[in-house]
Amino acid sequence: MAIYKNGKKIAGSLQSISKTGTGNAITDLEVKEDGAILGATLGNTFIDVGSDQTITGAKTFSGKILASGEPNIGIPESPFGNAYINNLYASSYLYTNGKTSISDGKPGVGITVHGIYITSDHNPNISFYNNSATTSTHQIISKNNGIAVSGNFFTNNKTSDTDGRSGSCLSHTGNLTLTSAISPAINFQYRNATSTTHSIAATSATNLGFDGNIIPINTTRNIGSKISRWQALYVVNSYSRDSVFTGGKTSTTTADGTEGGVLNNDGSLALIHASTPHIDFYNGTSEISYSNRLISLTTGFHMSNTLTVGGSILSNGKTESNDGIEGCTLAANGNMALTSATRPSIQFFNSNATTITATLINDLSGLIYSGDIHSNGRTSISGVTSGVSLHQGAVTISSSTSNPYIDFKIAGIDNRRFAAYTDRLEYNGVKLATVNDITTETNLLQERIAELENELKELKTK
């Protein structure tokens, strides 16, 4: 090999190479004219040439490879195949697989000052290998609609959902487990809000608390189902709020303009209906139509059938018949007590009548009835039905099977009977004089008196 210097051949062949300095990098080369010797100066950095340098083959660097300016290791057209480096420091970007930017569309990895970007033609992922495993233990995979984790996801160094440490576990089976020393909770916070808006928290081992209203997104949903039902529903004891509303109602009155029912916290039930609020009762489980209906009319309550109660019925806030409060008591023993500040009364209305037909009044001196009194279905004093009629101070007694009579009992033992016959009255079986009998006897007596007076006159003239 001929040796040239400055375009002039100075030796026919290279006889030896001399080295000066220390290091792994050749910093300078010099051809000595005497003896055709190539002198190399060693240092810690490569010689600076005005173009890119290419290293072929395997090279071992025992020190650091330093860069100045903005050099690259490899270029997109000729990247490194594999790199086994202890530490690699890059001031701006680090790409794999020939990528030149994070958005060039080529599969590969880009590491920038803002993060790690993974591009793949099918579900980019990060794979984890435990120890010397030859297959990935877990993966974090990017799907079109989100991030998928191949196993469980733990926080705060938890290793399982039951290890007792505070933290959370999102399991591969779809369960979310929250562990806390106080009250595990899921908190909701609106964007830019400075505090939690709503929370769902486990307040005890058996209770789950909600901080906020439970609003159905779909109004056709139920609380519970036909098969799974809540055992009890509790609301706070606060009048006119926190009640149970139905039918779109928001208040216990008609002010909100809607029909429905309200179960109030004071123990009352409010039914709001455009015409007739009512409660239906079904006897047995096979009833198609209601067995009984309690209807609220503008004038009072109406029961579709007979109303039977096991105790007493009291009105106007009465608690017992003799508590002094005005009202009515229908006692369980069959008695009815009326209490009034003036004169208690019972008013009667004939069918469809708009005015009182008759009134029974309790006066201090006794009972006063404004109409006639008939017994045994009689409708008038002239009726042929057996019974008694009281009319304007007269008593009419009729009997279709025997002679009418009036019995008087003293201490329930001795009977005193007045009996009426077609031609006479009897008292305990003894006929009583009639008006005709008295008239006849009177006439006979008057005739006898006249005879005696004549006889007396004759005696005086003698």
pLDDT tens by residue, 283-325 = 877 667 888 888 888 877 888 887 777 788 888 888 888 888 9
Please say if the pLDDT value at position 374 is more than 50. Answer: yes
Over range 425-447, report the average pLDDT. 78
Weakest-pLDDT range from 78-87, 254-263, 372-381:
78-87
Rounded CA separation 307/302 (Å): 10
Pair 67, 74: CB distance under 8 Å = no
Q: Say what the pLDDT of residue 2 is.
A: 55
Pair 123, 143: CB distance under 8 Å = yes
- Could you tell me which residue, 115 or 60, shows the higher pLDDT? 115
Percentage, residues of the chain above pLDDT 90: 4
Q: How confident is the model at residue 443 (pLDDT cuts 50, 70, 90)?
A: confident
Weakest-pLDDT range from 36-40, 346-350, 370-374:
36-40
Summarize pLDDT for 226-239 with one digit per residue, the tens: 888 887 777 665 44
pTM of the prediction? 0.42
Rounded CA separation 312/294 (Å): 18
Q: Say what the pLDDT of residue 238 is.
A: 45
Summarize pLDDT for 119-134 with one digit per residue, the tens: 988 889 998 888 888 8
Over range 358-376, report the average pLDDT. 85
Q: How confident is the model at residue 31 (pLDDT cuts 50, 70, 90)?
A: low
Over range 107-127, report the average pLDDT. 89
Nearest one of 42, 38, 35, 1 to 20, comparing CA atoms? 42
Please say if the pLDDT value at position 350 is more than 70. Answer: yes
Please say if the pLDDT value at position 8 is more than 70. Answer: no
Percentage, residues of the chain above pLDDT 70: 77
Q: How confident is the model at residue 173 (pLDDT cuts 50, 70, 90)?
A: confident
Q: Say what the pLDDT of residue 239 is.
A: 43
Q: Is the dihedral of CA 225, 226, 227, 232 positive or negative?
A: positive
Q: Say what the pLDDT of residue 168 is.
A: 93
Q: What average pLDDT does the chain have?
A: 79
Please say if the pLDDT value at position 412 is more than 80. Answer: no
Over range 198-214, report the average pLDDT. 86
Q: How many CB atoms lie within 10 A of CB 292?
A: 15
Please say if the pLDDT value at position 451 is more than 70. Answer: yes
